[in-house]
Structure 1
């Protein structure tokens, strides 16, 4: 077996592994690179293989950094099955369509500037129509459903606890009459997400490809995260300001809605009573679609969610924003409120408009609850910039900036080590999905609990195993 690391190697995003055996050629994930301009340019690179020669693909979960180049793959001739879980199929449907719309909109904006400058127009990475074409190849499976490809190879998807439908990929194969196993972790959850079940334990594997997004960090405020979030919202309210939460539309937004709902439901305090009166706006059409999917998918979620007799994603003070006109009206209304809007890293979507209209206000509170990639607008604000450029306008930052790490959907260092530790039989571990410091720190810590070869692949590295 040969593994080609074509994404998420030396990078956090762009997940894509090409696996080659004597019988099959297939991909694990086909995601977009996100972050720096240099990284995003990698999305436009020609695939290092002919998509027509692939037998199938396995998608670990729906997030765009794992699924976002599937429309390109299909456009270039791929026509096989894309195996994934049922929730991943539903979420990838809306995410890829939305991503296509964003690429079209951003390209239209860019081409207007290029036309004025006398430059040639550019094409979008892919369109909504391309996404619709690609979605038909998604082929859903249940967790732990064995897929026997032939007498010498099978695989299954097990719960990774990161996102609704997220999975680790377990591949069993026979090579030279010897049974082998390789596991791709996908993105792992941290066992503290109220919505998701814990990542499933893997008992043995010969080879492991494991993420390291937070491989050098600990989520210090997991137990107090909701209390901190509520305190910041109430502080903004007391100051007559707006609390703005840049949030990924799929997964994180639903988690925030539920945790606020759960706080109000389980606390008989003045804080909870006041929180129940503050208008909370979800301003993201994609988040509304995703919330509808979450509401219908409780069988894939935690026991806490299953125990709710009512919908866990409904609050009496929650307002769902659909139209552009409603979104614009939010920024003309200066009364205290909470705005939850996408994108999570502030580089696209309606959040940019809310930041443009509120960052310069001293009564505004910006609450970061997720990872901010290098060179994104969110990273610049989080790291203390005093001025940023949004929609071709320089905006001074006078708002209060907060960061709550406990809401991360990723496993931190301890969770990663706890997940790897029980795996017996490891001969080689590949550490991916991390910035340089995170991957190397995690590799060193892995070396303390596992006595096998541990490698950090670079982009386009290939290994025979």
Structure 2
């Protein structure tokens, strides 16, 4: 049994891990690399593993750095089973075709330059049509349900509290009489986020693969982000300009709507109109509206009172190019939320072009900005920036609120690990910048007593099976569990608890059959 880290190793993006066990290959996430040019170029490289040899593809959530190369995987021959939660599949139907469209447009632009220079033309990594086709093949998994991939491998998707549909993966693998449990955190959410539940606490694991995005940081503005947002909105209104917010289309945009709605309900929002100007964010918001059953109690309570942040009176959805262009004529009184969140693509670039040079406007960042992106450069204080081939002077105020991260910070990650009843034997740290990973390699052992290691890109680690059962132990466990079934059934268990217990019995019976 071994695991290879094909992405999100010593970097934040490109999540992709492959477990080889029980004569199968299980891929967890297939994400796109983002950020600086050298990182993005990895997206064009051939897969380091042969896609046809991958048996199972499990996607933790819909963000492009976890799912963005799935169409490429299919394009190059993957034909195994693909699973994600239902809400994740809904979001993939929005995000992946949009990603394919962006690539088509970018390649078209690059090929025009290549033709003029007499250079070789290139193909997009995949097209929007490729993306549409592959999403149709996904199976929709339910939270808390143990799914048997085959007689030796089972998986369960548990709520990660990161974005709508995000999941922690529990993976059980049997090889003969040996069973090993691996847990993949996916991206863990912060406690108390709008819309989504808090991250599920996991009981046990032999190995844990955990994200470390904020492994070296604590969220500074978490407790007062609403007041900070109110102050930025009021400041911009008083100046008479527009507030431009680059935001990821999924979760971050909806979190902003949640807080703006709270200000509206509390009569603390100045007379400004709110515009979502991103086809993807508009579509993602519609997905949220179809998944009310997954919302947390606070959001559900707010909606039941008639204060739905997704349909508030000041909200306008820019669906067409004409509606988007009309926003360029607004000189003040507008809160414009647009993608991409790092300012490298999409309609946000138009709003930067029309507002960055105006001192009465404000650009507010509410999310991570990868090195090399326009967003990171603006936060670093550059005097001007190139947008659509034009150098634009930066005269607008540049602001940043830290508390909107969809990721747990260092303390949140440590608290989650310490909540394991039976702690993992080893933690493998991924999805973090090198400095964050280096900090976590020291902090995790100090605060949890578990050894931690941050693998390198494409590094393979051999895993020792976690549990070895004798035939006598398996028989005792099976009979003990079976003898408790009457009392368990009389307790009127929930359907998820019933399925979990029946799956455990089935696993024990299967192991007994192998050793008898």
Instruction: Write the distance in 1 (CA, Å) between the matches of 2:142 and 2:462.
Output: 30
Q: What do the CA deviations read for 1:364-396 (whole angstroms, capped 9, x no partner)?
A: 111000000010000000111111111111111
Aligned to 1:383: 380
Q: Residues 408-447 of structure 1: matches in 2 within 5 Å? A: 408-423=405-420, 424-447=422-445
Contact in 2 for aligned 1:79/1:137 (Cα 8 Å): no
Aligned to 2:198: 198
Instruction: Write the distance in 1 (CA, Å) between the matches of 2:433 and 2:35.
Output: 11
Greater shift in the superposed pair: 148-157 or 9-18:
148-157
| TM-score, length of structure 1 as denominator length | 0.96
Aligned to 1:281: 275
Instruction: Write the distance in 1 (CA, Å) between the matches of 2:76 and 2:112.
Output: 28
Aligned to 2:353, the other structure's residue is in SS state helix
Instruction: Write the distance in 2 (CA, Å) between the matches of 1:146 and 1:32.
Output: 28
Aligned to 1:36: 36
Task: List runs of 5+ in structure 2 lacking aligned partners.
Answer: 464-516
Contact in 1 for aligned 2:22/2:175 (Cα 8 Å): no
Aligned to 1:150, the other structure's residue is in SS state coil
Greater shift in the superposed pair: 115-124 or 245-254:
115-124
Contact in 2 for aligned 1:298/1:305 (Cα 8 Å): no
Aligned to 2:346: 349
Instruction: Write the distance in 1 (CA, Å) between the matches of 2:462 and 2:175.
Output: 12
Instruction: Write the distance in 1 (CA, Å) between the matches of 2:104 and 2:365.
Output: 27
Aligned to 1:372: 369
Greater shift in the superposed pair: 61-70 or 448-457:
448-457
Instruction: Write the distance in 2 (CA, Å) between the matches of 1:117 and 1:364.
Output: 40
Aligned to 1:288, the other structure's residue is in SS state helix
Aligned to 2:52: 52
| Displacement after TM superposition at 1:451 (Å) | 2.9
Instruction: Write the distance in 2 (CA, Å) between the matches of 1:202 and 1:48.
Output: 32
Aligned to 1:223, the other structure's residue is in SS state helix
Q: Residues 70-149 of structure 1: matches in 2 within 5 Å? A: 70-149=70-149
Instruction: Write the distance in 1 (CA, Å) between the matches of 2:139 and 2:425.
Output: 32
2:328 alignment partner, one of 331, 347, 361: 331
Aligned to 2:241: 241
| Displacement after TM superposition at 1:237 (Å) | 0.8
Instruction: Write the distance in 1 (CA, Å) between the matches of 2:56 and 2:286.
Output: 29
Q: What do the CA deviations read for 1:283-321 (whole angstroms, capped 9, x no partner)?
A: 001111110110110111211222212433112111111
Aligned to 1:101, the other structure's residue is in SS state helix
Answer with 1 or 2: which has the greater Rg: 2
Instruction: Write the distance in 2 (CA, Å) between the matches of 1:429 and 1:145.
Output: 24
Q: Does 1:392 align with 2:386?
A: no
Aligned to 2:291: 297
Contact in 2 for aligned 1:182/1:208 (Cα 8 Å): yes
| Displacement after TM superposition at 1:249 (Å) | 0.8
Contact in 2 for aligned 1:80/1:137 (Cα 8 Å): no
Greater shift in the superposed pair: 155-164 or 44-53:
44-53
Contact in 2 for aligned 1:30/1:69 (Cα 8 Å): yes
| TM-score, length of structure 2 as denominator length | 0.87
Q: What do the CA deviations read for 1:76-117 (whole angstroms, capped 9, x no partner)?
A: 111122111000000011100111111111111222222233
Greater shift in the superposed pair: 438-447 or 205-214:
438-447
Aligned to 1:156, the other structure's residue is in SS state strand
Contact in 2 for aligned 1:430/1:454 (Cα 8 Å): yes
Aligned to 2:468: none
Task: List runs of 5+ in structure 1 lacking aligned partners.
Answer: none
Instruction: Write the distance in 1 (CA, Å) between the matches of 2:450 and 2:410.
Output: 19
Report the structure, 1 or 2, having the larger helix content. Answer: 2
Aligned to 1:448: 446
Greater shift in the superposed pair: 308-317 or 247-256:
308-317
Instruction: Write the distance in 1 (CA, Å) between the matches of 2:192 and 2:27.
Output: 30
Aligned to 2:478: none
Instruction: Write the distance in 2 (CA, Å) between the matches of 1:148 and 1:177.
Output: 17
| Displacement after TM superposition at 1:223 (Å) | 1.5
Over aligned residue pairs, what C-alpha RMSD do you find? Answer: 1.2
